Amino acid sequence: MGCFTFVKVMMLLFNLLILLGGLTLVAMGIWVSVDGGSFLRILGPFSSHAAQFVNVGFFSIAVGAVLVLMGLLGVCSAHCQSKCLLLLFFCVVLIIFIAEVAAAVVALAYSSFAEGILRAWATPALKNDFGSDPIVTKIWNTTMTEMSCCGFTNYTDFVGSKFEDVSQGHFPPSCCWTHSAPCSLEEAERSKVKGCLKQILEVLKEHANIVGGVAAGVAALEIGAMVVSMYLYCHLDQKIS
């Protein structure tokens, strides 16, 4: 088997895997959109929070559709030995690669402002929406319970809030070590439960490392795909002749 044939076969197999992965994501996205209840039951505890606020179904369909188109384009370009399709495949992968690099640069540039961004959202949400908005309330109750923390900075985030007014001067149970209601201002001061800022930043950093590792792997595959497609493009005339 010559080098050209080997590269062609590898590109076919690679893009077939991309095609199958895209079809799998599309099928999963349709399943979640049509029958999300059974899907969430299968995921169990992993779906109890984030899946309620992110439309996983439509996201999976969108990503899967892009992968299907890429896979089809790659398979057709390699099988038909079309220089036009190979160049189109190279350009599509290059555009996606540049977009990912741009997104990574933006993420790194704004990572230092993560605390400020979180504070700009968290403080008004705790003051104005906690206790009245069910989504905000559930997010913060879950966060404070699982991380054993109180508010964003500490219990003072609830001083003068709508929740304090509605609860007649009380604070969320997580702000007191006893975790029992009612949690008074005096008990919250004595408990000195720390805010969730540090834990949230640690979780974000942990997930950022995971996402960064996956992104690096995807980028390596994209670079490999561009190298292979360009190799086939440059040697196609020699093979045909």
Rounded Cα gap, residues 73 and 59, in angstroms: 21
Whether 164 is covered by a domain: the verdict is yes
Whether 93 is covered by a domain: the verdict is yes
Whether 212 is covered by a domain: the verdict is no
Whether 210 is covered by a domain: the verdict is no
- 119 shares its domain with 93: no
Tens of pLDDT, residue by residue over 179-198, are: 666 888 888 888 888 888 88
Rounded Cα gap, residues 154 and 161, in angstroms: 13
Whether 206 is covered by a domain: the verdict is no
- 65 shares its domain with 180: no
Whether 165 is covered by a domain: the verdict is yes
**Alpha carbon of 66 to those of 16, 56, 161: distances in Å?**
14, 16, 45
- 152 shares its domain with 70: no
Q: pTM for the whole thing? A: 0.57
**Whose CA is closest to 88, among 75, 103, 77?**
77
Tens of pLDDT, residue by residue over 78-125, are: 778 788 888 888 888 888 888 878 877 776 666 666 667 777 778 888
Backbone phi, then psi, for 118, in 5-degree steps? -65, -45
Task: State the residue range of the domain holding 222.
Answer: 3-111+218-240
- 156 shares its domain with 191: yes
Whether 29 is covered by a domain: the verdict is yes
239 touches 4 (CB < 8 A): yes
- 92 shares its domain with 15: yes
- 21 shares its domain with 103: yes
Q: How confident is the model at residue 178 (pLDDT cuts 50, 70, 90)?
A: confident
The pLDDT of residue 109: 67
- 122 shares its domain with 102: no
The pLDDT of residue 111: 61
Number of domains, the chain: 2
